[in-house]
Structure 1
Amino acid sequence: MKRQTNQKNLSLKQKLKHAIAHLHADVFGYEKSVTRNVISYFKKLSENTGIPSDQIIVRMFKQPGTIKTYVHKDGKVVREVTVGELIELFSGSSQLTGLEYKIVEKILRFMDDLKASHGDDSTEFHICFLAQQSQVRILAVYGNKVTQSIALKTLIKYFTL
């Protein structure tokens, strides 16, 4: 009887450990704030380009020593997005002087880590940002194939100092 109890406790312990490992709390509301900023940015892009916000895709590519980000619709580049705009996208505030270089370094490192985790050194790797139905989706993409969904909280770390 005692052995069964230990197995049940162990099973419960494992269940709790698993539940806690996947628990996520946005204690300070930062993720919610960034979600609002991203959705607001997409609405602003929509007003400026005339493209419905749910049809806009923002794609970020790694290039030697920098990142290039573009607004796409139907696979075509509509316009370039500056690093200052990316900072605004995540912080909600206008461009902060001197942060661009540090942010670019952090994003390059993040993109290198993602590429390495997939064992691919493809130049077709990029990150897609989508804002649809009041939700933000961030995807790691190789060519036209989505390889991973990226949690917003993961990317937030790279856009903050």
Structure 2
Amino acid sequence: MRRPMHSFDELAEHCAAFTLEALRGANERTVEALHTSAATPLVKALQMIQLQKMIFAVGMFSIFEATLQGCLNCRDGFREVEAMLGQQGEAELKERFQDLVAAINVLKHGRGRSYDALVAKAQSLPFRMKLPDEAFFFEGDVSEVATLIEVDDAFVQGCGYVIREVSEVLRKVRRDFI
């Protein structure tokens, strides 16, 4: 008999910690090597590390959406979650969730409605984003990749935390939620 996997939120948090630790080690080794050589492959390695964080965050949230759709038996898992969080009086968590959903949309699609909504509240977000007049997060940072949302370790961990918190609320409402 096949056992179901452990809860997605628990596995996602562990995956995030594992991935970030591996990337941190690769980053440290690359920065150390840059002290003696400015070779292009080293700069590409730093950019690859940043890109991997973006890919991981987008993937984690996309798989969470698929998990929600399956467990909640709905077509739009994020909209269903937003409704449940509102019904449960979880306004602050709902807002953090919506901000991350918008940030993930910006990472996937670039400028658009989600970007405009985040720009309007950029000063209160727990992550950095490029405003319309900004070209870089940190000018001169050779590791920076072309993105409108700064995906650092805190952003990736924040995605995992919000997924866990949302999952905990859903388990209170729906005992069958994994």
What TM-score bracket applies, with the shorter chain setting the length?
under 0.3
TM-score, length basis structure 1: 0.28
* Structure number having the greater helix percentage: 2
Identify the structure with the greater strand proportion. 1
Larger Rg: 1
Q: TM-score, normalised by structure 2?
A: 0.26
